[in-house]
């Protein structure tokens, strides 16, 4: 028997970590305070996307963010807040939003996303897995010349990084999507992006892990840690005390508060996003981002999903109906034949993206605790980076050679 490992959090990061540790013969336990059926890992757009190598903290975003603070319908909303943790995060976010750092981190994110894409495909080949995983690329759809210009700048950067992108004309849009009327003037197409249906993969992964003897405790909250000589001896939940050799912090947007208990100050804010779906046959076949509105459209298994907004307003699942309405309106503006019904809009769900200031996840062992591995802060790329993170964390815990250089992701990195 390899090590005994307890993972805090059963989202995509926690489950993927359990998958690779179990394969290595570890005895794995997952504890999650939710029903393990909702949240970011279920409501996301399902993109497995090397095209997203530019983080939220991109040059210019701070200026837009300040402007958008006053606009309840903007795609990015930052709630003004005097909380110390938020101010420190905002300071680091502002520092990270420079083109030198963004270009440097783009290389890390490119390599990490491609690594994780390959692992998704390896998992898919296993007998117990049949989740939707399509390789149809990603279209950035524009309605204005101004937006198209911005996307073309990203296209140039993408091609310099070998993330293949090409410009699409209005006529080509019609050829790419013959079954739906599109109100757009063109865009940029990333041919190497993939997509999947999140709930399919999550359900199958949970069933797989259970069949392999992974212990799963849902609706159970980790409250504290018992420490012994600089190491964690056990975690205390609201129901029991769990002893292990190693622990993994995969609790997404909730990780910062838990990390304080082991002496680690993790800069992290929750970025809320909403998603809605329709079973109506939309005719959309290619995952598409409505570029001005920043709404992600995904043709999933049996439905089309629309996801959007980045609301930095604390760790909560409150629904802002005004923003939800803005997403639904944007969908109709780009696809005149789609009008989401009242019941589809009311069935909206939300999830919290765990945002680090620089858009890179936190992966590694903090200086303050040698048997805890942090695996949080994956921001807009948590779905994409799930399997890759799981593999890297398993290698770290088992002292194996790392498949990628994980030093850029260290949880004690300075901003």
Ligand X SMILES: Cc1cc2nc3c(=O)[nH]c(=O)nc-3n(C[C@H](O)[C@H](O)[C@H](O)COP(=O)(O)OP(=O)(O)OC[C@H]3O[C@@H](n4cnc5c(N)ncnc54)[C@H](O)[C@@H]3O)c2cc1C
Residues forming contacts to ligand X in the complex (CB under 6 A) are 8-14, 31-34, 39-41, 43-47, 49, 221-222, 250-254, 258, 273, 275, 296, 307, 351-354, 376, 378-384
Nearer to ligand X, 150 or 221 (CB): 221
Q: Which two tokens stand for residue 310?
A: 């980045």
Burial 182-194 (b: 16+ CB within 10 A, else e): bebbbbbbbebbb
Q: How far is the CB of 220 from ligand X (least distance, A)?
A: 7
Nearer to ligand X, 14 or 186 (CB): 14
> DSSP states of 327-373 as a string?
HHHHHHHHSTT----HHHHHT-EEEEEEE-TTS--EEE--TT-TTEE
Nearer to ligand X, 290 or 307 (CB): 307
Q: How far is the CB of 11 from ligand X (least distance, A)?
A: 2
Nearer to ligand X, 47 or 189 (CB): 47
Q: How far is the CB of 305 from ligand X (least distance, A)?
A: 9
Q: Which two tokens stand for residue 240?
A: 């029991």
Distance CA 192, CA 115 (A): 13
When CB distances to ligand X are compared, the closest residue is: 382
Nearer to ligand X, 143 or 376 (CB): 376
Q: How far is the CB of 171 from ligand X (least distance, A)?
A: 28
Nearer to ligand X, 46 or 387 (CB): 46
Q: How far is the CB of 158 from ligand X (least distance, A)?
A: 17
Rg from Cα positions in the chain: 21
Q: At what angle do helices 99-124 and 382-397 cross, to 10 degrees?
A: 80
308 vs 231, 251, 324, CA distance in Å? 40, 22, 8
How many CA atoms does the CB half-sphere of 215 hold within 13 Å? 14
Q: How far is the CB of 272 from ligand X (least distance, A)?
A: 7
| DSSP single-letter state for residue 97 | -
Q: How far is the CB of 115 from ligand X (least distance, A)?
A: 13
Nearer to ligand X, 269 or 384 (CB): 384
Distance CA 368, CA 412 (A): 9
Q: Which two tokens stand for residue 125?
A: 């080949």
Nearer to ligand X, 172 or 220 (CB): 220
Q: How far is the CB of 170 from ligand X (least distance, A)?
A: 26
Q: Find out whether 275 and 43 touch, Cβ atoms under 8 Å.
A: yes
In the block, residue with structure tokens 């003037």: 185
Q: What is the largest CA-CA distance in the chain?
A: 67
> DSSP states of 371-393 as a string?
TEEEEE-BGGGHHHHHHHHHHHH
The length of the chain, given as a count of residues: 415
């Amino acid at each position: 028997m390899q090590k005994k490992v307890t993972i805090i959090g059963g989202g995509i990061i926690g489950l993927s970590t359990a998958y690779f540790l179990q394969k290595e013969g570890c005895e794995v336990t997952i504890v999650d305070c939710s029903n393990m059926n909702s949240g970011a890992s279920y409501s996301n757009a399902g993109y497995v996307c090397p095209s997203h190598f530019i983080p939220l903290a991109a040059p210019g975003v701070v200026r837009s963010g300040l402007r958008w603070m006053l606009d309840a319908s903007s795609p990015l909303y930052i709630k003004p807040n005097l909380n110390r943790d938020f101010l420190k995060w905002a300071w680091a976010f502002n520092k990270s939003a420079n083109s030198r750092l963004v270009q440097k981190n783009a290389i890390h994110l490119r390599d990490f996303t491609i690594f994780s894409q390959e692992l998704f495909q390896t998992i898919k080949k296993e007998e117990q897995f049949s989740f939707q995983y399509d390789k149809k690329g990603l279209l950035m759809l524009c309605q204005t010349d101004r937006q198209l210009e911005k996307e073309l700048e990203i296209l140039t950067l993408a091609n310099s990084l070998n993330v293949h992108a090409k410009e699409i004309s209005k006529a080509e849009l019609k050829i790419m999507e013959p079954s739906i009327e599109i109100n757009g003037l063109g865009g940029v197409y990333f041919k190497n992006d993939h997509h999947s249906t999140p709930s399919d993969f999550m359900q199958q992964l949970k069933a797989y892990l259970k069949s392999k003897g992974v212990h799963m405790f849902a609706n159970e909250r980790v409250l504290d840690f018992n420490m012994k000589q600089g190491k964690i001896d056990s975690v205390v939940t609201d129901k029991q005390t769990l002893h292990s050799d190693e622990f993994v912090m995969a609790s997404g947007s909730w990780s910062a508060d838990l990390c304080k208990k082991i002496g680690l100050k993790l800069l992290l804010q929750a970025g809320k996003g909403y998603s809605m779906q329709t079973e109506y046959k939309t005719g959309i076949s290619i995952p598409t981002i409505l570029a001005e509105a920043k709404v992600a459209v995904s043709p999933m298994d049996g439905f089309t999903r629309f996801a959007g907004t980045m609301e930095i307003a604390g760790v909560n699942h409150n629904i802002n109906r005004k923003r939800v309405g803005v997403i639904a309106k944007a969908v109709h503006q780009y696809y005149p034949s789609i009008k989401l019904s009242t019941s589809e809009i009311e069935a909206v769900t939300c999830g919290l993206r765990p945002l680090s200031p620089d858009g890179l996840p936190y992966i590694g062992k903090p200086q303050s605790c040698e048997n805890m591995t942090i695996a949080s802060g994956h921001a807009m790329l948590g779905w994409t980076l799930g399997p890759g993170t799981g593999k890297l964390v398993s290698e770290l815990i088992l002292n194996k050679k790392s498949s990628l250089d994980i030093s850029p992701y260290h949880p004690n990195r300075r901003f």
